[in-house]
Amino acid sequence: MIVEVTTDRRRSAVLALHWQVNVIKPEGFFGGMLAEPVARSGVVARAAAFHAAVRQAGLPVVFTRFTIPEDEGKLVRNTGFMTAVANSQEAFRPDAPGTQLIPELAGQADQVVDNQKLSGFASNFLTELLAARGIDTVFITGVATNLTVEQTARHGTDLGLTVHVVSDCVAAGEEKVHAASLDNLNLVTAGSLTAGEVLALLGQA
């Protein structure tokens, strides 16, 4: 069920999650798992077009990156996923090639927020940033649907934000996993919307 979407552009933003080399490109840390299905899905081109259109409409696009500084920041080895990245943390240093935003989207960042968690809202200043700008509605793009996208969407909802995942601007390693994650998110957020639906609501279609 989709709740009413605000069209007040002053209160809306796009969160663009983990569009970084380590996640998207073959040479990245997760390239063996994600690069091929992401490329096959065409999601990068769709996300680039969507980000450009919403920025034209006046919405900020805030990118998140998973990074690990020298002191490890807020990293906690409490899952197999976090243990794996901790064991290869040099690949996730803030200045490492793999942590950089992919070239196709790098110029679209109005702000970049780093953290050491799966949720884009965890252990950083993103919540305060949005609150300071009066933003209460977010549209999420990113990879992977069942990882940072789902974790961030659930977290944002629990923080009181109205959250919509942009369904054709997210992707996962397997289509069935992607679809299952979107089904879950339709129940626990304000509902998924396509890029076209978001732009229509903003008067940009």
Q: How many domains does the chain have?
A: 1
pLDDT for res 154: 98
In a domain? residue 2? no
Range of weakest confidence among 82-91, 152-161, 167-176, 195-204: 195-204
Tell me the C-alpha distance between 64 and 116, whole Å. 10
Residue 151: which residues within 8 A CB-CB, separation 6 or more?
Answer: 118, 119
In a domain, 145, yes or no: yes
Is 1 contained in some domain?
no
- HSE-CB at 33 with a 13 A cutoff on CA atoms is 10
**4 belongs to a structural domain:** no
Q: What is the pLDDT of residue 5?
A: 56
Give domain status of residue 118, yes or no. yes
Q: What is the CATH number of the domain that holds 187?
A: 3.40.50.850
Q: Name the nearest CA neighbour of 106 among 51, 46, 158, 151.
A: 51
**Residue-wise pLDDT tens digits, 91-141:** 999 999 999 999 999 999 999 999 999 999 999 999 999 999 999 999 999
Does a structural domain hold residue 3?
no
Structure pTM?
0.95
Does some domain include residue 146? yes
Neighbours of 79 (CB within 10 A): 10
pLDDT attached to residue 82 = 96
Determine which helix (DSSP H) or strand (DSSP E) holds 40, and give its type and residue range: helix 31-41
Residue 119 lies in a domain: yes
The alpha carbon of residue 192 and the mean position of all alpha carbons in its chain are separated, in whole angstroms, by 14
Nearest to 70 by CA among 125, 116, 122: 116
Nearest to 189 by CA among 135, 141, 144, 150: 150
Instruction: Please give the pLDDT value at position 2.
Output: 47
Segments forming the whole domain that contains residue 26: 9-201
Dump pLDDT digits (tens) for 143-153.
999 999 999 99
Sheet holding 137-143, edge to edge: 111-115, 61-66, 12-17, 137-143, 162-171
Mean pLDDT of the chain: 95
- What is the percentage of the chain residues whose pLDDT exceeds 70? 96
